Structure 1
């Protein structure tokens, strides 16, 4: 087979390092632009503030400074954010900076990995695609853990690529396993989704004998298990009292691994319905209204690339080339299918994990198509075909809402037509025309995703804000059916919906995080004056949805009861009783909606999305408060009669 990439060890041309530097600079600009204007996901930002106040809160990833309940993910991504605020102080920029840095690092490492496999040109294209992917841009401007997860698995792929080149690859394979294990401590089982591709790639493409490869994989399995589960084991062995692991049924990280963050995401048990965020599960999910504009732009091209490589005969590839196609192609196919058919909660920003594979397959595929284009034969038409189907798909996605920057789609279509004409003429042996057609084709296929990414970065608008960041128009972001904040019939979780397909301002701003209202500040001042020295001066029902704003915008110690959405059994009724009897509990604010307001008790409409588990715990706490505490007259602290419902549960306050 004709070589389609320069040798791995070839000397880089002078412009190539500058090109990589420019790509990383563009990525940094997109990821950093205006990030100080938002807290990102206020759930995690509030936890970062709490974690900076004690080692136990730091180690467990506690949402509140008392250590009642943790966030519903392992804390590795938050550890980096805490270290950042220790250096730069607790502010919005410091919280979001680690994600932007991790995003740029992932772009750089993807280049290094693809360069060793497919050459410099493929590597530059791969890095550019990753840097400009709309969902990657918006999530790298946020503080969800997915950015660090992507960096870790790309670094693991880089180590695996080195392993393909050596007959003594044990260290590289073990390093890859360790990095995936760190990914597990970032987002649990989602990190393991790359393992089928990694294992198959090393088994088929490794240079060592089969016995040595088997030994290497065995050692890697041990490293993976230790690096993945050491934190889980320590949390289990930690003596009580200790924080309740948010999102779990029994307060343990083991349950979180295999329940809410594990099989619940795949099969829906315990994970809640995911259709409202990412549409219905199925083979074409990546092409639907919610996800197409986030990640699908180059998927038709990737499919054409993979089919053409299979048709050309992968057996004729030398081992390192074969291993690379199995790694990146397997990554794209396996994770794409997992996300497509996942029955549980499926946020669009999860698909950023596909972006490195999309970049690698696109970069290597276009280089291959270019070499075929310059040779006689039918497969030389694959490059024009690839440009045509990619531009056509981009126009189809844009056409779903022509009221939102339709110029990008029309411009891409115009460039695509010109590129196709020039490429057709270039096949007749005109080298300059051919190169011009290639450049125009690249511009055409990247124009719309670049526009969506740039608009999201400059405008700062991204779907539901930090909770569910997305690029593009608001339509389709919440899925079908009416959307509003409300309470599910079982009293747990949070119902969302829209009537016209657009996000209401309250939803797009995310749960909590906004500045406290004048009434809320009066409540904080009253509680601080009456119970500020108590261990728990204020507990707020409704979890992070209600408590984040208070944690972020005041120095009062606040407990968000119930974890993320109020359904966790933390604090339990027994814990509330203990606090009340020991005089450690001051006030409780009832309510399950944003800002501490009581949620409507009507049922959610058909098609609404319910976030988080329900259950009896929330209603049990509310019943306990109503039986054991006394309502505080709003006039005592300057509130309104139809506003916040404050209860005094100790000697403090007006009982």
Structure 2
């Protein structure tokens, strides 16, 4: 019987390969790439390749149909037209305002678009690559400490995590965030094993790049990183503290360099920082993308409050509710039991024990993310939890193998003297079957929630039930009969029981057209925004669906009316759904729904005919049009291929446009057209709307409209001479 741990030596009779002579030749190195190291079991590397191919197929299936997030897609497109927009992560190529995230993920997608041309598959390609890379990286790390079986289970679990499949088929920044965090974990574990400084420094740099991908979310794992190194690394306590101090400096530098550079540039020479309250990246870090995500309400350190939850109400139960359960929770019961039991079983190991250090790391990764996502009061989207998937997957593999080894030893101890058997019985006889039973039972609950949504879910429910029963009964029978073959077969059945449910959801995510604004896997399970049933029809939140059923808009690759160039590919626009950080219109205090009386134009319909008219009468202006919000602007950018000003950021509440700035743009001929609402807006926005109506020339809809359909997100507003499109020229500025 082949054990889960690779034997220390290799021989033909053991089923392992004998190491060939080290000829160092190219052919030998190429062979090892596909067959793996000689000390590994023969199946190890082929199994890894199979997992990576399966993951790539899931993430890249029908890649040309992936719509992605139009908000980020527009920023990437703008970056292909202007290196200035590229560096700042500006929404428009004229660099009026940035997106509300740092630009590293946009840089990665932008380089792909510059190399291969702009289109949906070109933007999705890097996400597929880093998604598959994350699976390979996790396999390597788990294999180093727990062997090939643990690594294979962990890699499979990560590849089949439903929300991970969904987000890796998208253009949100999360896949890059996860990959960089895993690079940081790899560096940390190497530093723990060797006691060397440089792997720890590179770990910090990786987390710094992750920070420049999604800011404070990258720091969720840091407490676990610091604790693991301080506790388990080789070397004296003083040496460990000094190393952590140096790594902290590297972390700060690699995290803050872009923020410092941008904030040192005069505001007049750079875009407005979207999402901030004072036009600084620092405010964006600590407010909107920092404490606001956790506490929800605005505070003295920044604004970000009252955000919408598309994953249900905050609370320790959130990740098990009808919205989130099928996305991430399948293996949480097993991972939790495996973590606790694994740490107890390694309790008497030396301080520098590598396996315990790894369990601490993956356990900390899992627990910290769980608490953060479950209790966060700010804006919360289901796809955020893809960041916790590596911790769960690693615990499923590493913890599962740890429990299996203990179980087999416990079975062997049944024939030992009573005192010895009793001392080992708790962890070696009951914990593994209990962990398998708990997760299998929970998987059946999740599948019963959607059993009427498709044949695959009913089949998966049957498979989980049968495999789970066989696994638990087989393990228990094997324990008392001490039959190695029965225990091994039961363990294989346990893997099937644990992965069948996630696999069904993952196939659904791969074969359906994902909603790029809020991607989820599996069928609609009710809930909606904030857990208020009826507000949304599914995990997608307010849009009411986890997948787009069709945008009804023109392809990104269709030539826009009136000539000019436009992005190529397929449609990237959602159909009336909210984008990455949307809520009911805002997740920043003071925001309001676009088109609801802010600067105007946030939800105003802009037809294909209007875009054609604007391009024909652009008259050399830098910007085609000024509208209220990012959602409207991004759609027009992708439709027209021209820069468009978002005056109020995502929700319309950003103070990016002032009356003085508007007058300056008009006077210099950089902007001619603006859309305002008929109600005139409120506050400072009202001042702009009032001035535009008093000095601009209203463009009647008859000048461009001939019954054309809307191409941008719609609302109750429509363009008209009373409140709609206005033309402004230098002569209109007093």
- Asked if 1:366 is matched to 2:400, the reply is yes
Structure 2 equivalent of residue 648 of structure 1: 726
- Paired position in structure 2 for 1:177: 204
Partner residue in 2 for 1:394: 443
| Equivalent residues in 2 for 1:387-426, closer than 5 Å | 387-405=436-454, 406-407=457-458, 408-426=460-478
Q: What SS is found at the alignment partner of 1:648?
A: strand
TM-superposed deviation, 1:529:
1.3
- 1:309/1:500 CA distance change after superposition, 3 Å: closer
1:220 matched to which residue of 2?
A: 247
Q: Residue 7 and residue 626 in structure 1: after superposition, are their counterparts in 2 closer, same or farther (change >3 A)?
A: farther
1:287 has 2:320 as partner: yes
Residues 423-480 of structure 1 show CA distances to partners (whole Å, capped at 9, x for unaligned) of: 333332222222221111111110011110111111224xxx1111111222224331
Q: Which one has a bigger Cα radius of gyration? A: 2
* CA gap 1:399/1:652 in 2 versus in 1, 3 angstroms: farther
The Cα shift of 1:70 comes to: 0.3
Aligned to 2:366: 332
The residue that corresponds to 2:513 in the other structure is: 460
Contact map agreement 2:440 2:497 (CA 8 A) in 1: yes
- 1:210 pairs with 2:237: yes
Name the structure where helix makes up a greater proportion of residues. 1
Moved more, 129-138 or 432-441: 432-441
Distance 1:627 1:414, change over 3 A: farther
- Relative to structure 2, which stretch is displaced further, 268-277 or 369-378? 268-277
Alignment RMSD: 3.0
- How far is the alpha carbon of 1:623 from its aligned partner? 3.7
1:451 matched residue in structure 2: 504
Matched, 1:562 2:645: no
8 Å CA contact 2:52, 2:132 repeated in 1: yes
The answer as to whether partners of 1:512 and 1:548 remain within 8 angstroms in 2 is no
Tell me, in whole angstroms, the C-alpha distance in 2 between the residues paired with 1:508 and 1:632.
27
Relative distance call for 1:41 and 1:532 in structure 2 (3 A) is: farther
State yes or no: 1:381 paired with 2:439. Answer: no
Instruction: Rate the CA distance shift 1:366–1:509 in 2: closer, same or farther, 3 A.
Output: farther
Partner of residue 531, structure 1: 618
Q: Which residue of 2 aligns with 1:123?
A: 151
Alignment correspondent of 2:18: none
> Could you tell me how far apart the structure 1 residues matched to 2:236 and 2:70 are?
51
The aligned residue for residue 610 of structure 1 is: none
Give the C-alpha shift of residue 639 in structure 1.
4.7
| Per-residue deviation, 1:482 | 4.5
Change (3 A) 1:230 1:347: same
1:102 to 112, 124, 130: 130
Deviation of residue 116 (structure 1)? 1.7
Question: Equivalences for 1:318-357 in 2 at 5 Å?
Answer: 319-357=353-391
Q: Residue 68 of structure 1 is aligned with which of 89, 96, 121?
A: 96
Alignment of 1:255-334 (within 5 A): 255-268=283-296, 269=298, 270-274=303-307, 276-312=309-345, 314-316=347-349, 319-334=353-368
Shift of residue 421 of structure 1? 2.9
TM-score (norm 2): 0.79
Using the alignment, how far apart are the partners of 1:496 and 1:441 within structure 2?
A: 34
Aligned 1:222-241 pairs, distance under 5 A: 222-239=249-266, 240-241=268-269
Contact preservation (8 Å) 2:64, 2:120: yes
Task: Give the Cα–Cα distance (whole angstroms) in 2 for the partners of residues 357 and 615 of structure 1.
Answer: 47
Provide closer, same or farther for how the CA distance between residues 615 and 122 of structure 1 changes in structure 2, counting only shifts above 3 A. Answer: farther
Residue 728 of structure 2 aligns to a residue whose secondary structure is coil
Aligned: 1:476 with 2:562: no
- In the alignment, which residue of structure 1 is the partner of 2:173? 145
Asked whether the 8 Å contact 2:403–2:431 carries over to 1, the reply is yes
SS of the aligned residue for 1:567 comes to coil
User: Do the aligned residues in 2 keep the contact of 1:274 with 1:347 (CA within 8 Å)?
Assistant: no
Q: Normalized against structure 1, the TM-score is what? A: 0.88
CA distance in 2, matches of 1:653, 1:505: 44
Contact 1:43 1:511 in 2 (8 A): no
Q: Counterparts of 1:178 and 1:555 in 2: how far apart (Å)? A: 36
Q: Name the counterpart of 2:58.
A: 30
Q: Verify the 8 A CA contact 1:135 1:349 in the aligned structure 2.
A: yes
The answer to whether the 8 A contact 1:297-1:393 is kept is yes
Summarize deviations over 1:542-600 as a string: whole Å, max 9, x none.
Answer: x2221222111223332233222322122222211212233332111346xxxxxx9x9
Deviations 1:117-164 (A, max 9, x none): 222221111111111100111111111111101000101111111112
Alpha-carbon offset, residue 235 of structure 1 = 0.1
Q: C-alpha separation between the residues in 1 aligned to 2:686 and 2:468? A: 58
Tell me the matched-pair count. 616
Shift of 1:211: 1.2
CA distance in 2, matches of 1:342, 1:327: 22
Question: Residues 652 and 638 from structure 1, CA distance in 2 versus in 1: closer, same or farther, beyond 3 angstroms?
Answer: farther
For residue 652 of structure 1, report the CA deviation from its aligned partner.
10
Classify 1:190/1:378 alpha carbon distance in 2 versus 1 (closer, same or farther; 3 Å). Answer: same
Give the whole-Å Cα distance in 2 for the aligned partners of 1:501 and 1:138.
10
